[in-house]
Amino acid sequence: MKDINDYTRVTEVLFPLSGLKSIDATILKNAAERGRKVHVICDAIIENLGTGPIEEYIQPYIDSFNEWIPKDFIEKPKRFFCDEYKITGECDAIYKDSDGLVLVDFKTPVNESKTWKLQGSAYSYLAKKVGYNIKRIEFIKLSKTGAKPKVYVYEEDFGMFLKCLEVFKYFFKNSKDENPLDYL
């Protein structure tokens, strides 16, 4: 079994480029916790496990998710690892449509981040390394009002992610910054 501590997480690479460091730490922590809760519930819905009671402030995100949900999901893959670049990442879901496999990540912020395309590119690369024939990358920005989510479709650009990885290793590798990007 691979030790995650021997690898750099995709979101760790992108965090210094996300602009989130300038946001108040308490606000960022609360947003990450909200995102974590939403992800847990979305996973439970996809896996038909039931959700139990949902906190009132989380419910609109789940309503938004349910506007999007009718998909043919495959079993959620385990965390991906790449020995060549020593990176790791974990997508939120993969579903199958008429074009093939679609890699999915759920987001709860108000605005799209420039890092999403690169995060999706790295996840797609990692998924392909272990045999998933990913045809499309979708990031689903769930609505805080419960409205239909916004779907962002990205073309893979792993080359740009590798440039970010190189910059990260040069400038930030030994940084102790907390990384809330996984659930935002």
Per-residue model confidence as pLDDT tens digits over 74-123? 999 999 999 999 999 999 999 999 999 999 999 999 899 999 999 999 99
Q: Does residue 184 have a pLDDT over 60?
A: no
Per-residue model confidence as pLDDT tens digits over 121-159? 999 999 999 999 999 999 999 999 999 999 999 999 999
CA distance 174 to 77: 29
Q: Which pLDDT band holds residue 175 (cuts at 50, 70, 90)?
A: low
Say if residues 105 and 116 touch (Cβ distance below 8 Å).
Answer: yes
Domain housing 16 = 4-174
pLDDT at 182: 57
Phi then psi dihedrals of residue 34, to 5 deg: -60, -45
pTM, two decimals, is 0.90
54: left (phi over 0), alpha (psi -120 to 50) or beta: beta
Say if residues 108 and 144 touch (Cβ distance below 8 Å).
Answer: yes
Beta bridge partner(s), residue 86: none
Q: Per-residue pLDDT averaged across 23-36, rounded?
A: 89
Q: Is 163 in a helix, a strand, or coil?
A: helix
Q: Does residue 34 have a pLDDT over 70?
A: yes
Q: Domain for residue 182, yes or no?
A: no
Residue 144 to residues 35, 64, 79, 130: CA-CA distances in angstroms?
11, 8, 28, 34
What is the amino acid identity at position 122? A
Q: Domain for residue 155, yes or no?
A: yes
Q: What is the mean pLDDT of the chain?
A: 91
Total count of domains within the chain: 1
Q: Which pLDDT band holds residue 3 (cuts at 50, 70, 90)?
A: confident
Ordered DSSP codes for 78-106 = PPEEETTTTEEE--SEEEEETTEEEEEEE
Rounded to the nearest 5 degrees, what angle is found at the Cα of 49, between the Cα atoms of 43 and 50? 95
Q: Domain for residue 129, yes or no?
A: yes
Q: Domain for residue 184, yes or no?
A: no
Q: Domain for residue 111, yes or no?
A: yes
Task: Identify the CATH number of the domain in which residue 43 sits.
Answer: 3.90.320
Q: Does residue 52 have a pLDDT over 60?
A: yes
Q: Domain for residue 179, yes or no?
A: no
